């Protein structure tokens, strides 16, 4: 058995089922070992190493397991980086295994010799090691997997190509050797009783309690609901927590932040007490003003607690365990006026969403595409969104139900993960429908290429449905709006306009189905057709780039900046004024 075989076998013993990657001479020994391993773990070839890292991150997000990606020395390793940062910033356990030039050549400015130890030092700062002798492989794999899981982060093992091809060796029983073992079960962490009592006192004293939950609250939905019931609270969700709680509960105000909803904004502005659970939502202007509310936070990561708002009690602990211990200490609030107000705001907001979605546009209002999808979402589907305007409509217009999974690049907010996350969903759960919601810019950046990976594999999936929505607006629209609203600049055509392309026809060329829709009244039927298909489908929706992704609360500065952009000669000024005005009007007069 070679070192490479020992590495692959150890991954398999850790329960790793899938390795996403791309070959190269730096990892030929490992490829040989994966071939001999005969599918345990299984190697999935991608189109670009960044996609392998996104898929490993997606795998971790969908399954809670460690995701693994593999790339060759030099260029392959460098290509992984952005996907690895996506995982690191969203706290996902991902192990990167990368090749390196032969030990005999290192330090010789050899071909493809890159200082990988330094290159990965930041993204994998919890653990990055280069193997130098066969006896290290066992403990390097053990530590990489265990640290990735325990710290919910990215780790990296660098394997010089000559080492991979040596005979494997166990560490001898002598000085200077390591004898590591398998297995990791996360601990249940609970704060001390006295702190729970202090937290309960604050929450019991509050008259208008707001809750904000994030991905850390996934798995604690029942406890979140019970807490909100007792406290008469509304619950807002950070982007990564979108699937942590269903949207069909009347007190769930939906997303928060620039992509958030008005009831979430009102919840935070009106509350006197804030309970934050499993979230590190960064935009403080969307939280209560300092001094306006008393705060309690629950987070598993002691490094990140008490950071976004001056909390009075910081409970380091698992969301579910901590809430379960807190609940018996809470008194049910008898005055439900605050809760009634929240529920009215939420009901009104959904009417606004419908009115905004049904506003006519040229040709299709992108909100309509999401609004029509929402009630059609199959049970247990897995939804990924890309960065771009899609993230706004994903955040606001989709009503997540119990059992669904949903994610995007929450913290890095990188373009590109939409399609690879969906592919990872299909490999992890071949019997569930995956839906990727992406802009044409993100699709051109990499999604197009990964359609080839989908075409290669879909026949093996128990349910072949993987749907890719492409918002065809010939524009890097999210940033176009940022240029207008944040900078007061008109759209800069040279930076913003995309090459036009026939996405549905391309999908057909690849061997999948492609549906092109440019009529708003056909959007619902197009979704029905997509979701009934016998293979992966691309839905190309021709959408209007001048429908503004309005933040929940437009500041005077933002409105002024927009007017300035128009004044400075925005190429779409007349149409965009009309659309902005109509969208705002839909908020004032929902249902008309
Ligand atoms: C890798 C990367 N490059 C650039 C950006 C900045 N950015 C964020 S959204 C966006 C536009 C996305 O355009 P598209 O995918 O067409 O979606 P649209 O907003 O038009 O719907 C850009 C350029 C980013 N987030 N990530
Ligand atoms: Mg676009």
SS3 assignment, position 288: coil
In this structure, the chain runs to a length of 592
Confidence (pTM): 0.97
Residue-wise burial string across 422-433, b where 16 or more C-beta atoms lie within 10 A, e elsewhere: bbbbbbbbeebb
Give percent helix, percent strand, percent coil of the chain, each to the nearest 5.
Answer: 45, 15, 40
What's the N-to-C CA distance of the chain in angstroms? 73
CB atoms within 5 A of ion ligand 2 belong to 439-441, 473, 475, 477
pLDDT digit string (tens) for the chain, length 592 residues: 999 999 999 999 999 999 999 999 999 999 999 999 999 999 999 999 999 999 999 999 999 999 999 999 999 999 999 999 999 999 999 999 999 999 999 999 999 999 999 999 999 999 999 999 999 999 999 999 999 999 999 999 999 999 999 999 999 999 999 999 999 999 999 999 999 999 999 999 999 999 999 999 999 999 999 999 999 999 999 999 999 999 999 999 999 999 999 999 999 999 999 999 999 999 999 999 999 999 999 999 999 999 999 999 999 999 999 999 999 999 999 999 999 999 999 999 999 999 999 999 999 999 999 999 999 999 999 999 999 999 999 999 999 999 999 999 999 999 999 999 999 999 999 999 999 999 999 999 999 999 999 999 999 999 999 999 999 999 999 999 999 988 899 999 999 999 999 999 999 999 999 999 999 999 999 999 999 999 999 999 999 999 998 777 788 888 888 888 888 888 888 888 888 878 877 777 665 4
477 C-beta closer than 6 A to ligand 1: yes
Q: Give the Cβ contact number of residue 292 at 10 Å.
A: 14
Q: Which residues does 522 contact at the CB level (< 8 Å), separation at least 6? A: none
Q: How far is the CA of 473 from the centre of ligand 2 (A)?
A: 5
pLDDT at 586: 79
For ligand 1, is residue 479 a contact (CB within 6 Å)?
yes
DSSP state of 549: -
d(CA 573, CA 489): 12
Q: Does the Cβ of 444 fall within 6 Å of ligand 1?
A: no
Contact 96, 155 (CB under 8 A): yes
Residue nearest to atom 8 of ligand 1 (CA): 388
H-run or E-run covering 45: strand 42-45
Look at residues 124, 178, 179, 117 and name the one whose alpha carbon lies nearest to residue 151.
124
Counting from 1 in the atom list of ligand 1, the atom nearest the Cα of 481 is 19
Q: Which atom of ligand 1 is nearest the CA belonging to 478?
A: 19
Interval between CA 377 and ligand 1 midpoint (Å): 25
Rounded to the nearest 10 degrees, the angle between the axes of helix 49-63 and helix 418-428 is 50
Q: Is residue 274 within 6 Å of ligand 1 at its C-beta?
A: no
Q: Round to whole Å and give the CA distance between 486 and 562.
A: 8
Are the beta carbons of 467 and 432 closer than 8 angstroms?
A: no
Residue 256 to residue 61: CA distance in whole angstroms? 21
In sequence order, which residues have a C-beta less than 8 Å from that of residue 108 and are 6 or more positions away? none
Ligand 2 centroid distance, CA of 439 (Å): 5
d(CA 586, CA 349): 10
**Which tokens belong to 489?**
């600049």
Q: In this structure, are strands 434-439 and 18-21 parallel, antiparallel, or unpaired?
A: unpaired
- Tokens 């992108």 belong to which residue? 366
Q: Ligand 2 centroid to 508 CA: how many Å?
A: 21
What pLDDT is attached to residue 592?
47
Are 420 and 59 in contact by the 8 Å Cβ rule? The answer is: no
Instruction: Compute the distance from residue 243 Cα to the ligand 2 centre, in Å.
Output: 25
CA dihedral (12, 13, 17, 19) in degrees, to 10, reads: -40
Could you tell me if the CB of 440 is within 6 A of ligand 1?
Answer: yes
Its sign, for the CA torsion 169, 172, 175, 177, is positive
Q: Which atom of ligand 1 is nearest to the CA of 471?
A: 21
């Amino acid at each position: 058995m070679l070192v490479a075989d020992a590495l692959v076998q150890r991954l398999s013993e850790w329960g790793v089922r899938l390795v996403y990657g791309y070959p190269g001479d730096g990892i030929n020994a490992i490829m040989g070992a994966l071939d001999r391993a005969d599918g345990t773990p299984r190697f999935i070839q991608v189109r670009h190493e960044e996609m392998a890292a996104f898929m490993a991150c997606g795998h971790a997000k969908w399954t809670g397991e460690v995701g693994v990606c593999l790339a060759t020395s030099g260029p392959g390793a460098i290509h992984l980086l952005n996907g690895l940062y996506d995982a690191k910033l969203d706290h996902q356990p991902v192990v990167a295994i990368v090749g390196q030039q032969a030990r005999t050549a290192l330090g010789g400015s050899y071909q493809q010799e890159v200082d990988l130890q330094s290159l990965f030092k930041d993204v994998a700062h919890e653990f990055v090691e280069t193997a130098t002798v066969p006896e290290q492989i066992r403990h390097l794999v053990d530590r990489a997997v265990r640290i990735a899981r325990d710290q919910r982060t990215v780790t990296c093992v660098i394997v010089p190509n000559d080492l991979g091809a040596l005979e494997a060796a166990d560490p001898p029983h002598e000085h200077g050797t390591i004898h590591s073992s398998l297995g990791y079960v996360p601990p249940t962490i609970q704060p001390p009783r006295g702190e729970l009592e202090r937290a309960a006192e604050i929450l019991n004293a509050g008259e208008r309690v707001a809750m904000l939950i994030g991905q850390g609250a996934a798995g604690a939905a029942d406890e979140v609901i019970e807490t909100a019931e007792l406290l008469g609270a509304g619950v807002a969700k950070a982007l990564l927590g979108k699937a942590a709680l269903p949207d069909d509960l009347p007190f769930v105000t939906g997303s928060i932040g620039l992509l958030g909803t008005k009831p979430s904004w009102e919840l935070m502005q009106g509350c006197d007490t804030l309970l934050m659970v499993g979230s590190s939502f960064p935009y403080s202007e969307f939280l209560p003003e300092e001094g306006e509310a008393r705060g309690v936070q629950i987070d598993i990561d002691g490094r990140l607690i008490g950071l976004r708002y001056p909390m009075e009690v910081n409970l380091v602990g698992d969301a579910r365990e901590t809430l379960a211990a807190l609940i018996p200490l809470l008194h049910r609030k008898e005055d439900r006026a605050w809760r009634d107000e929240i529920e009215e705001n939420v009901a009104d907001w959904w009417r606004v969403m419908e009115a905004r979605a049904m506003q006519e546009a040229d040709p299709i209002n992108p909100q309509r595409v999401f609004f029509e999808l929402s009630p059609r979402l199959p049970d247990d589907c897995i939804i990924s969104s890309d960065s771009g305007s899609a993230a706004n409509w994903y955040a606001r217009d989709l009503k997540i139900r119990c059992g669904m999974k949903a994610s995007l690049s929450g913290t890095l907010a990188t373009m590109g993960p939409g399609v690879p996350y969906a592919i990872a969903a299909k490999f992890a759960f071949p019997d569930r429908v995956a839906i990727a919601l992406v802009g044409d810019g993100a699709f051109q950046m990499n999604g197009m290429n990964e359609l080839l990976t989908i075409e290669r594999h879909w026949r093996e999936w128990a349910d072949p449905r993987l749907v890719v929505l492409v918002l065809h607006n010939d524009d890097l629209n999210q940033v176009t709006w940022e240029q207008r609203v944040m900078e007061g600049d008109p759209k800069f055509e040279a930076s913003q306009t995309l090459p036009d392309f026939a996405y549905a026809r391309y999908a057909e060329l690849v061997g999948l189905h492609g549906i092109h829709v440019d009529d708003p009244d056909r959007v619902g039927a197009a979704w029905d057709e997509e979701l009934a298909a016998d293979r992966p489908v691309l839905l190309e929706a021709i959408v209007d780039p001048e429908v503004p992704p309005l933040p929940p609360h437009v500041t005077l500065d933002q409105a002024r900046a927009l007017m300035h952009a128009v004044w400075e000669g925005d190429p779409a000024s007349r149409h965009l004024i009309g659309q902005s005005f109509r969208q705002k009007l839909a908020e004032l007069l929902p249902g008309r």
